[in-house]
Structure formats: structure tokens, C-alpha cells
Amino acid sequence: MANVLKGLNVVGECRDANLGLWSCPPFLFVVLGAVNILAMVISYLFSSRFVEEPEIAALIVIGVSLLIFVVGNFIIHGFANIAEANRMKSEFISIVSHQLRSPLSVFKWTLDAIDRERGGPAPIPAAVDASIKLLEENTEKMIGLVNMLLEVSRIEAKRLVLNVERVDLAGLTGEAVRSSVPYAAAARVTLEFVPPQRLPSARGDREKVKIIVQNLIDNAVRYSPNGGAAVVTLVPRDSKFVEWRIQDHGLGIPAADQRFIFQKFFRSGQAMRHHTVGSGLGLYIARSFIEALGGEIGFTSQEGKGSTFWFRLPTDNA
């Protein structure tokens, strides 16, 4: 009985834990009650027809009811634990992200102050200068990771704030490609993008679309260990959507992993073998942003031959 009451006490936690209706303990408790009543009626009709002694018929009804109650109790208890664990995990991510943000900001400000002193009268030794650059790079990585965790926390809490406006997708993509050229050149990958002559403006959140575009370009470069080219294209679709697409000739995604690719913290085994650095959050965040903006996102991939990722945003006219 205590487990059932525990299931009833998690009303509202299913939403916080990002659980579906059929994984929600209070809903399962209601379903269990309906199933139990139905089973009692069926067992009564069955026993009254085939059993002459009313005492035995009553025992059959009670036995079936108890069996369903016990099994359902275990099920509700299990889902209640899942809901609580998911809620605690989300809270932990949110708290840790906020706690890390302040010291990382102080660390970055300190490094910026040191960086301004590089041009002073006293030269900085080469070894110290290299160490400062290394600290700056890792600080930026940590700040980026914390920001991603904060976005995940907002997405799960349904507190995603969107600043919907007209977005020049071609101009935004051109900026992202230009900023990624040095990184791509170091990986021996050629980035190709020819802005279309005529393209309708998209409707979306410019900063969040910029995050999506940058993430997809980074992935195309990162998972192309043999070099080659990553080609970005932009085309209108059905006058209602603008489609952004990037094609690479890298590792590709194994067929068994493709259905998990947009899940939070997921990274395929092949990707981890070739590139150990990564959080598995980029595609999850990208899908959440695109869906919140009323768009679509997807991919096609073949292991060993590369991948094509795309997303569509509504046009400004639509």
C-alpha cells in the first residue's frame, strides 16, 4: 500500500522527469484500478458460470484481484523510482551547471587580464605563454559544455525561451563556415558553401539556429578523419520551408546506432573510437531547438561512406 501511495505522491514529477504518460505512476495507478475492476468482473462471470459453490467463486475473484494488485504495485513502484531518478538527475545537472558557471567566468576574466599584459614591457616566457593559451582553450571548452548543460536543463524543464525573428540563413551559414575554415584546414577537410542567389528568409531564433549550424559543421569536420570535403547547401522546400543541409564523406553512423543519434548523451561506438572528445548533447539540443521553432531535422548515413544532416525552418512568409 505504501508503494501505491508513493506512486500517488509523484503527481507532477512525471513532467519534471520528462516521462511519457504510460510511464507516469499516477496514470498507471488509475489504469491498474480499471484493469483490476475489469478482471474482477470477468473472473466473477467466469466463476459463476463454471463453479457451483459461491465460496469458491468468491475466492477466485479475490485471488485474481490480489494477483493483479501485487503485480501492478511492483510496476508502479518501479516507475516511481524511475521518475524520481530522472527528476534528481535533471536537478543535479541544473545545479552543477549553475555552480560551475561562476568560477569559470572568474577564471576567464583572469585569463583575459593576463592576456592584456602580454604586450607589456616585461616579455612573457614562451613556456608560460603556451600554458596560458592551453588554459584559455580548455576554459572555453568548459564554458561551452556548461552552457550546453544549462540548455539541456531548460529543455527538460520546458523553460526554453525563444526570440523568434527573421533569420538570414545564408548569411548566418557564411559566417559559421568562415569561422570554421581554420579548424577544417587543420583536419584536412575542405568546407564548401555557395550561397544561393535567391532564398526566402527563415523564421527562427538567430542565436539558437547559429548554435545548430555550428554544431553540425563541427560534427562534419570532426568525424571526417580521412579528409575530403563537407558541402553545405541551402534550398527552399515547398515555399513553406528553407532546408539547410551538410554532406560529409566521413565515418558514417552504424545502422544499429541511427535510431539513438538524437538522444541525450548518446555517442556511437565508432565515433568514440575515432574522436574521444564529445558530450553527446549537440544533436539532442539541435533537435529540441528545431522542433520548438516548428521545423524538422533528420539525417541519412551509411557506415564508412559519410552522413548528410539536414534541418528545415519555416519561411518568413509562411
In this predicted model, what pLDDT tens digit does every residue of 125-164 receive, in sequence order?
A: 777 677 777 777 777 777 777 777 777 777 777 778 888 8
Query: If we measure between CA atoms, which residue out of 25, 125, 26, 124 comes closest to residue 78?
Result: 25
The owner of cell 541544473 is: 94
The grid cell for 244 is: 539547410
Question: 39 with 64: CB under 8 angstroms?
Answer: yes
Q: Cite the residue boundaries of each domain of the chain with CATH code 3.30.565.10.
A: 164-314
Of all helices (H) and strands (E), which one includes residue 3?
helix 2-8
Task: Please tell me whether the overall predicted TM-score, pTM, comes out greater than 0.85 for this model.
Answer: no
Q: 164-219: per-residue pLDDT in tens?
A: 899 999 999 999 999 889 888 888 889 999 888 888 889 999 989 999 999 999 88
CATH fold, domain 164-314, is: Heat Shock Protein 90 (3.30.565)
CB atoms within 10 A of CB 286: 22
Tens digits of residue pLDDT in 36-80: 788 777 777 777 777 767 777 777 777 777 887 777 777 777 767
- What CA–CA distance (Å, rounded) separates 276 from 260? 18
